[in-house]
Amino acid sequence: MDATASPTTATVHSDVPWGAVWGQDDAVAALQDAASDPAALTHAWLITGPPGSGRSTLAYAFAAALIAEEGDENAMRQVLAGTHPDLTALRTEGVIISIKDARALVERSYFSPSLGRYRVIVMEDADRMAERTSNVLLKALEEPPERTVWVLCAPSDADLLPTIRSRVRTLRLREPDVADVARLIVERTGADPATAEQSARHAQRHIGMAQRLATDAAARARRDDTLRAVLRVRGVGDVVEVAGRIVQAATDDAKALTTERDEAERAGLLRTLGIAAGTPVPPTVRSQLSALEDDQKRRATRSLRDGIDRVLTDLESMFRDVLMLQFGRDTELINRELEPDLRALAEAWTPDRTLAVVDRIGETRKNVELNAAPTLALESMLVTVASGRTP
């Protein structure tokens, strides 16, 4: 089943629980109808859209509308905060969703609602399920209890098995325009319009990334430095140096994003266990601390890979611009600030060579996602940039 959201004017909804949803009016209308009319409600949904389109935000708003009685804003806010007992959510911070986590969701899906109208199971990043994990969900999606609703989120329905797709109603979100994202960034952050437009363009309309670029001059400079460094790659020495710089920058970013949270989680666990700061950890609770540290390591790995994927996405956009120039289209460049360098490259290369590089970057993204060593994967990709040939 499919309910495609067509383009509309990007607006921010002011009512609870839809207030955080932006630019998806048709999708909101479809889900409001489903939440208010049992005849229109399907018990398994798949919300798809590009990164930054608001898949998860919409999923939780829908969950709040399903669980709470109309007008019960307190219950809706509990759902949006993730604290309502009738909401079960899986936010993936590891590389994949484990079978253990999937089985836990299925088990929870058979519980009756305790306070609300429905029990809602939200699975973010459903595309990170291996085939064996997907099979765990099949029966639960096909025959859920009468008052349980599943909401899966993924970039595309093609990222899930056909057996999963056949058991859900798909709602495809629209991709916002650069101008729409820029206006939102100005409203949210107070950034000047030029910076907001550049950030929205460089982020390729990913709202969260655009907001980070608009508010972090260091992130903007790091992106520019990385792209220019790749344009200067000529030989093996350059390949090794630039690959190392990319991995180091992604590692530093991952540490910055996770270290403070890791320390707060560790301190919180120790307080819960009644262990004062600075005192030895008793052997009886070391297993709990080890489990937390394992979760944090998985999150750090995920954060590092996400950072490298972001760099590779930026590189794809740059060589896509080269390809556009080679075919005489210069009105929709993502990296306009690099146009002189990109024009020089477009004249020096053939379109076939540019396509080979774009394809190689796409393969590298897949390889990193599949646990390839990041430095080696980047070096291999940069050899193709330097030579036009796949190693």
pLDDT computed for residue 258 by the predictor? 73
CB 153 within 8 A of CB 122: yes
Cα-Cα-Cα-Cα torsion 197, 203, 205, 211, nearest 10 degrees, comes to: -70
**Distance between CA 248 and CA 143 in Å, rounded?**
47
Q: Cα 18 vs. chain centroid, distance in angstroms?
A: 20
Weakly modelled stretches of the chain, pLDDT under 50? 4-9
Q: Cα 373 vs. chain centroid, distance in angstroms?
A: 21
Question: H-type helices in the chain, by residue range?
Answer: 25-36, 55-67, 73-81, 99-109, 131-142, 162-165, 178-189, 193-202, 207-215, 217-231, 236-272, 286-326, 339-348, 351-369, 374-387
pLDDT computed for residue 95 by the predictor? 62
Residue type, 182: A
pLDDT computed for residue 226 by the predictor? 94
**Distance between CA 113 and CA 80 in Å, rounded?**
17
Give the model confidence (pLDDT) of 136-175 as tens digits: 998 888 888 889 999 999 989 998 999 999 999 999 998 8
pLDDT computed for residue 13 by the predictor? 52
- Could you count the other beta carbons within 10 Å of the beta carbon of residue 168? 24
CB 206 within 8 A of CB 182: no
pLDDT computed for residue 93 by the predictor? 63
Cα-Cα-Cα-Cα torsion 38, 39, 45, 51, nearest 10 degrees, comes to: -90
Token look-up 């994202």 returns 181
pTM reported for the whole predicted model: 0.72
